[in-house]
Amino acid sequence: MEEKHFLHAAETLGGSCALLDGRLRDIDGLKGLRKTFEQLNETLYCTIIEEITKQLYAKPCSEAINDVRRTNVMPKANGGDTETLVESTWNTGGMLLPSCAPGGAAYAALMDEVPSIADNCCALEDLNDEELTSKPVQYIAVLVDSLGLMGLLDRASRQLVETVEDQLWSVVVYRTSKFICDHLHGSSGVSGEARSLAELLRLLFVQFRFITAVYGVLIGQFERVLELRHQKLDSRFNVQTMWDQVQLTIERLLSMYLNVKPEQQGIGRKLPPDNDAKPISTYFIKKGPLPPRRRLFGFDGTAFAEAYHSERKPSTDVSMSSAERGEVACICRPGPQNIKAAFRLVMRFVSEIEAKISNPPCRLRVFVNSYIKKSFLPNLREDVVQKARSFLLDRSDTWNRTTSSITVEEQAAVLTAHLDLPDSPVPLFISTLKALDCCHDVVMILSSTPSFCAEFFRLWLQIVTLYLQSASAEYGSLSCSPPLESCSPVSSGSPRAGAKGQQGKKAGEGRKISSAWATDGDISRLLKSLPNWQSLASWVGTPAATPMVNCDGSGGSLQNGTTLLGSSSSPPKIESADEIRSRNSRESEILMGNLGSQAKIETSELLLFDARRFRLLANFQESVEYFCRCSRSILASLPPHVRSKLRLTVSSVDHDDEQLPQSDHLPTKPLVNGMTAVSPMDEFLDCLANIEQLASTCLLMLHLEARVHCFYHLLPLIRQPMFFGSSQEVDDQVIHLNKDLIRLNEILSGALQAPKQRYIFEGLGHLISTIFISGCQYIVRISDTGKKRICRDIFSVQQCLSDLTGSREPDLDQARRFYELLYKSPDDILNAIVEGGAEFAVTDYANLLALSIRSHPVLSSEPGALEQRLSRLKTMLTSDKRHL
């Protein structure tokens, strides 16, 4: 036995026992020898079982671990360089074992060998072969033949079956966990990341494949010897039993790392009561002993009892190793989050198991699916939704704190995940980053559990819906308007009339012109169709350059180009003065047609010029736009098969449910009882479109507010009937307008990206020029000092805008030249048109001639002076169709 010649020992011992039980049976002096042989027989049996156990568990475990050592050059436990390990794991895709371990493949191929059989039908045992133990198949055949000679096949098979669970846990799981702990963390403490759990599972699965292969060889040898010796085997001794025990071991390990309670596993569940009628004789059967009564008082928790029991505790419990006690060192903190690292590996191994068993699905699949559906997903939904509500709906500073108000360390403490978010050149709200953090957590789980992608995508959609709800409420508060959905389209042709009509309904609401126009569907579509908006879209890379994701995961574009998703700004295209003027003229025409005819703009129709409000509006616009851009980027990064599954997954949605985003433009299929069938992808994209609309509406409102301020300050100025005064002074209205524009620029600088800030201020020169030129019709008389005064007003505004935009603002030069024509007589004005060509519209020239004649000391009292010159003007401009 010491030399491990077990077959030879079994033959020798068997022959000796047969001799003692035969003709030497009646010799009393050999009774002591017979007992010695019985002890030797038991010792030989135990030694053979121990050797079989080593071949089954210890050797495959060591072989897989040595594979890792050879492949990755693992550092030693307490003196190695962990950087080598980390680098090697990243080079192999984050795993310790590569996809195909060379040593493991050789070991698996070794199991296909056939043992050598001697003439006596037993396995050949070469007493001179010192490497027999390194030949698993031949060695196992020798061990099983030894058991057959001893007649203990039934006992051995039963014992091997009964010890599978303990061996898998105490030998394989314990040793492998200790190996991962020592080489990844330097100790066996509760530390490390979930990636370590993935390493453990992958290494365990390799070992389980080795073990089942050896187990199959062992069963084959038992069956060979069974036919030779005509003995019996335990009915449970088969490969199916081994796979069942492997699944139980994995289930036990997952329960430990996922913090699964026993009741969640179905342990200890009582069978339902038997309601069938029982024979009356069962009530007269003698009952067993009654259970002991419960004590009224208990003293087990007292100090005396604890000290007493600790003194009487057997010393064997202290001397037992942690492996014998079934204790396994945790390589990462137990918790539900570990399912992210374990799911893919476990489900891949489950597929292997189901390919080898006869009755799929296997119990491990049932366990994992049940855990996710009944425990993990409900708990995650409750935690994530509660977390999202806490910083989106329950906090008063949700839309106040920005990244510029906290340090980098505080910002890192806010985020729980290591997000790889694109840099933002402007401050963002902390709540937006937290919302993306929540989305990132859910998407990481979604990517790790593709079988449940629809359920986790619904949770992601719920977070985005909460963000939309919070953002809509905040926009209504900042813009003094109700949410976008409540803004009904204006049926009147005049946007101003529509805004006035809605203000008249609820005078106390204080509706603002800019917010009313920006939220009105017809008006906003009209303004977004103008070249100014399209130019902004081309500058910031949308909608043409920003990749969009359709329901099927393919690329697409936005409808009508009415949504902005700001990206890194590219340098604007160099345009000529005529191109800029033509681009701005349409917007000025619309605004003048609706606001220019008013006597004045009321103060209540303006947003209160509060620096904090406008800064928050800029932060709001950038934050919600950033949220949409990151969300679409995350969506595009999902695997194509996941996006396809989300597109094909259809759920029933009730349109009366206020918790879900409403879809107005996505195609749906009608169902019964007022329900419609939509895919989660459709709902998600619809929700993102609503958030993008918030960002676009906010930017459009800032754009309009700057223009409404121009009308607010300049309309009272140009409505003065007599334009006299000092030529050295600038009017107070112009001074206040300049101050407002400078303040607005200072507020938005650093809060909005450059192309958006350019969109707000570019075109103001053309609008102000149009206001001044059209105001000529309302001036009754103007003196020479009044001419200088209005030219100085125009020049003052031009200087202010030039400083803000970096452009000369040639449109204001044109306005100044328009009023400088008043220095000429009416006939000289007409001669200048003949010599230099027409620069203004015929209506503008007519108003200018009328003001010039009204202000002339002689022509103002001459009958027909104006009509005569207007007729001459019309004749001169007949050929120029643009001015008619």
| pLDDT single digits (tens) 689-698 | 999 999 999 9
Between the alpha carbon of residue 571 and those of residues 539, 541, 639, 745, 807, the distances in Å are: 7, 11, 34, 20, 15
Distance CA 188, CA 180 (A): 9
Distance CA 688, CA 558 (A): 12
Distance CA 503, CA 222 (A): 93
pLDDT at 1 over 60: yes
pLDDT on residue 564 = 56
- Select from 351, 369, 387 the last residue of a domain: 369
134 and 194 share one domain: yes
Identify the residue whose tokens are 């963002």.
428
Find how far residue 128's CA is from the centre of its chain: 65
Among 429, 432, 512, 524, CA closest to 477: 512
Among 879, 869, 813, CA closest to 845: 869
Residues contacting 34, CB < 8 A, separation 6+: 17, 20
Distance CA 722, CA 78 (A): 94
Q: Are 424 and 622 in contact (CB under 8 A)?
A: yes
Q: Return the number of other C-beta atoms located less than 10 Å from residue 661's C-beta.
A: 23
- With respect to residue 147, please indicate whether it lies within any of the assigned structural domains: yes
Q: Amino acid identity of 92? A: T
Pairing mode of beta strands 722-723, 781-782: parallel
- Select from 335, 369, 403 the last residue of a domain: 369
Q: Return the number of other C-beta atoms located less than 10 Å from residue 517's C-beta.
A: 29
Query: What's the whole-number mean pLDDT along residues 640-663?
Result: 60
538 and 580 share one domain: yes
Find how far residue 234's CA is from the centre of its chain: 53
pLDDT at 558 over 70: no
- With respect to residue 703, please indicate whether it lies within any of the assigned structural domains: no
**752: helix, strand or coil:** strand
- The secondary element (H helix, E strand) that includes residue 517 is helix 513-519
pLDDT on residue 492 = 35
722 and 753 share one domain: yes
Distance CA 101, CA 113 (A): 20
- Sheet of 651-654: strand order equals 651-654, 675-678, 669-670
Among 96, 51, 91, CA closest to 71: 96
Note down the domain range covering 431.
395-487+510-694
- With respect to residue 503, please indicate whether it lies within any of the assigned structural domains: no
Give first-to-last CA distance, the chain, whole Å. 119
Q: What is the pLDDT of residues 849-859, one digit of tens each?
A: 999 999 888 88
pTM exceeds 0.85 for this model: no
- Select from 659, 694, 729 the last residue of a domain: 694
- The secondary element (H helix, E strand) that includes residue 556 is strand 555-556
Tell me the pLDDT band of 518, cut-offs 50, 70 and 90.
confident
Query: What's the whole-number mean pLDDT along residues 25-47?
Result: 78
Tell me the pLDDT band of 287, cut-offs 50, 70 and 90.
low
Pairing mode of beta strands 548-549, 555-556: antiparallel
pLDDT at 292 over 80: no
CATH number at residue 738: 1.20.58
- With respect to residue 1, please indicate whether it lies within any of the assigned structural domains: no
Residues contacting 158, CB < 8 A, separation 6+: 234, 237
217 and 91 share one domain: yes
pLDDT on residue 129 = 75
380 vs 296, which has greater pLDDT? 380
81 and 16 share one domain: yes
422 and 467 share one domain: yes
Between the alpha carbon of residue 363 and those of residues 246, 256, 339, 652, the distances in Å are: 11, 17, 17, 31
pLDDT on residue 573 = 59
Q: What is the pLDDT of residues 309-323, one digit of tens each?
A: 555 554 444 444 554
**Least reliable range by pLDDT among 177-191, 221-235, 377-391, 757-771:** 177-191
446 and 355 share one domain: no
pLDDT at 669 over 50: no
Query: What percent of the chain is predicted at pLDDT more than 70?
Result: 71
pLDDT winner (highest mean) among 196-200, 604-608, 707-711: 707-711
Distance CA 681, CA 454 (A): 9
Among 172, 505, 866, CA closest to 497: 505
pLDDT at 267 over 60: no
633, 638, 644, 648: CA torsion to nearest 10: -80
Among 461, 880, 480, 521, CA closest to 697: 521
Q: Are 138 and 117 in contact (CB under 8 A)?
A: no
350 and 402 share one domain: no
Mean residue pLDDT of the chain comes to 77
- With respect to residue 290, please indicate whether it lies within any of the assigned structural domains: no
343 and 424 share one domain: no
Residue 171: DSSP 8-state: I
Between the alpha carbon of residue 799 and those of residues 124, 706, 738, 765, 771, the distances in Å are: 106, 17, 9, 10, 17
pLDDT on residue 653 = 46
Between the alpha carbon of residue 39 and those of residues 35, 149, 424, 754, the distances in Å are: 6, 16, 80, 93
pLDDT on residue 526 = 86
Q: Return the number of other C-beta atoms located less than 10 Å from residue 327's C-beta.
A: 13
pLDDT on residue 73 = 52
DSSP per-residue codes, 673-695: TTEEEE-HHHHHHHHHHHHHHHH
Q: What is the pLDDT of residues 444-492, one digit of tens each?
A: 888 888 888 889 999 999 999 999 999 999 998 888 765 554 333 333 3
481 and 341 share one domain: no
410 and 515 share one domain: yes
- With respect to residue 747, please indicate whether it lies within any of the assigned structural domains: yes
pLDDT on residue 793 = 93
Q: Are 356 and 245 in contact (CB under 8 A)?
A: no
- With respect to residue 792, please indicate whether it lies within any of the assigned structural domains: yes
Tell me the pLDDT band of 177, cut-offs 50, 70 and 90.
confident
161 and 35 share one domain: yes
- With respect to residue 313, please indicate whether it lies within any of the assigned structural domains: no
Domains identified in the chain, total number: 3
Q: Are 237 and 160 in contact (CB under 8 A)?
A: yes
